[in-house]
Amino acid sequence: MKNLMVTGGCGFIGGNFIRYVLTETGFSGRIINVDKLTYAGNPESLDDVAKQFPGRYVFEQVDICDAKEIDRVFNEYGIDAVAHFAAESHVDRSITAPGEFIQTNLIGTYTLLEAARARLESFELFHHVSTDEVFGSLGETGAFTEHTPYQPNSPYSASKAGSDHLVRAYHETFKLPTTMSNCSNNYGPYHFPEKLIPLVLLNAKEGKPLPVYGDGMQVRDWLYVRDHAVAIWTVMQKGGRGETYNVGGRCEMPNLRVVEMICDLLDEMVGPLAGHTSRRELITFVKDRPGHDRRYAIDCSKIQKELSWEPEETFATSLRKTIQWYLDNPEWVKHVRSGEYQNWVKTNYGNRN
Ligand code: NAD
Ligand code: DAU
């Protein structure tokens, strides 16, 4: 891998992945970050690495559905590997407007796969970043393995499931060298505040209501974003071609508990809110998400046993680190919450009470 295309590198996980690869792995090649810059894309998040690694980090504002432009980027930089993060990623938005999800997640993935297939002789690896949501919802027990049948329930997870199938098919049919990872919920720095953890921590800091969908007893598995970046890089380096790996934090928690932990940590870190004994008083139960998956849990024994990957962080310590990052970076928060973000808050929460 000399010229690695990272799609969606201005987003949350792609950005953290680029930072990790450039600063910690000894990777000596070049990273070409291809991002359309949707509402979720922030090139400023990588300004420091761009300065620190001149020439080794390049940004191209390109839509992955644009076959001509993708072809140009492959040729111009001699792309020999892809780490594919770009996606429409927010489940609630896929319920309000599914079209972009079908475009980017399905057509975009297809466009990239075609560009790689056209260069089969020199192409080394297509890594597809996917989600545990493709497996659907679990009952009280059990965990998703790599063999769990797909049963996506939202337009988002259905579009990701379709993209997973395309990646698998390009390996089986065309022998494209691929790897894939299906990961649980991430959290950490640069997380767009439409997602539960950054939304709740910023609202709690500011004394705004904390919207909990339904009864708040839906269970998610949480993984610190750097641990996910390490897992992806591990799979890219050591994973079997054509193989898929589940990635998770072995950290299942009901949403309500996550929200309470954020309230308690903030009370401790910045002091209580005026007029309140605890930020938990801000918790507001609102109308549930349609088709809301009840429980996710990940069996990640394959990546642990075969590739020796382990999450390094615990939820309590890295949640504290995450909160501290948001407290230390008010300018980033202000920037991403301007403009489109305000419209989204009105659309999603306006009629939820
Ligand atoms: P994000 O929404 O924060 O970032 C997505 C990035 O993709 C943005 O920079 C956006 O501008 C870019 N993008 C969107 N459409 C594009 C297009 N057509 N062309 C080029 N760029 C485009 O997403 P994220 O949370 O960082 O997720 C990254 C990947 O990881 C996604 O594939 C997602 O399905 C997967 N994933 C996310 C999580 C999670 O907890 N966030 C967990 C498991 C898997
Ligand atoms: O499981 C991996 C997935 O995790 C990724 O594939 C997705 O890209 C990512 O967005 C995330 O999806 P979720 O739907 O689980 O994340 P979200 O932060 O939107 O919601 C987490 C849980 O919290 C979910 O059960 C819904 C609930 N929730 C969310 C929001 C935004 C609330 O109760 N209130 C809220 O305001």
Share of the chain above pLDDT 70, in %: 100
Do 199 and 349 meet the contact criterion of CB atoms below 8 Å apart? no
Q: Is the CB of 10 under 6 A from ligand 1?
A: yes
Q: Is the dihedral of CA 13, 15, 16, 18 positive or negative?
A: positive
Q: Is the dihedral of CA 293, 299, 302, 304 positive or negative?
A: positive
Say which residue the tokens 């193989």 belong to. Answer: 243
Q: What does the mean pLDDT of the chain come to? A: 97
pLDDT score, position 194: 97
What is the arithmetic mean of pLDDT over 96-118?
98
pLDDT score, position 339: 80
64 phi, psi to nearest 5 deg:
-65, -10
Identify whether 133 is a catalytic site residue: yes
- Angle (CA) 317 16 194, round 5°: 75
β partners of residue 322: none
Half-sphere exposure of 207 (CA within 13 A, CB side): 8
Give every CB contact of residue 44 below 8 A, 6+ residues apart in sequence.
332, 335
How far is the C-alpha of 192 from the C-alpha of 178, rounded, in Å? 28
Looking at the CA of 88, name the nearest ligand. Answer: 1
Distance from Cα 124 to the centre of ligand 2, integer Å: 33
Domain boundaries, the chain: 3-188+224-250+296-312
Give every CB contact of residue 306 below 8 A, 6+ residues apart in sequence.
240, 245
pLDDT score, position 149: 98
Q: What is the pLDDT of residues 256-279, one digit of tens each?
A: 999 999 999 999 999 999 999 999
Q: What is the pLDDT of residues 184-242, one digit of tens each?
A: 999 999 999 999 999 999 999 999 999 999 999 999 999 999 999 999 999 999 999 99
How far is the C-alpha of 10 from the C-alpha of 183, rounded, in Å? 19
- Angle (CA) 342 229 313, round 5°: 90
Distance from Cα 214 to the centre of ligand 1, integer Å: 26
pLDDT score, position 122: 96
Q: What is the pLDDT of residues 309-319, one digit of tens each?
A: 999 999 999 99
Do 296 and 144 meet the contact criterion of CB atoms below 8 Å apart? yes
- The three-class DSSP label of residue 95 is helix
pLDDT score, position 347: 93
Q: Which two tokens stand for residue 3?
A: 């010229």
pLDDT at 353 over 80: no
Atom 20 of ligand 2, nearest CA residue: 196
Instruction: Spot the catalytic one: 20, 57, 110, 156.
Output: 156
Q: What is the pLDDT of residues 109-147, one digit of tens each?
A: 999 999 999 999 999 999 999 999 999 999 999 999 999
CATH homologous superfamily of domain 3-188+224-250+296-312?
NAD(P)-binding Rossmann-like Domain (3.40.50.720)
Atom 10 of ligand 2, nearest CA residue: 90
Closest CA to 164 of 148, 143, 141: 148
Q: Which two tokens stand for residue 290?
A: 């349609």
Share of the chain above pLDDT 90, in %: 98
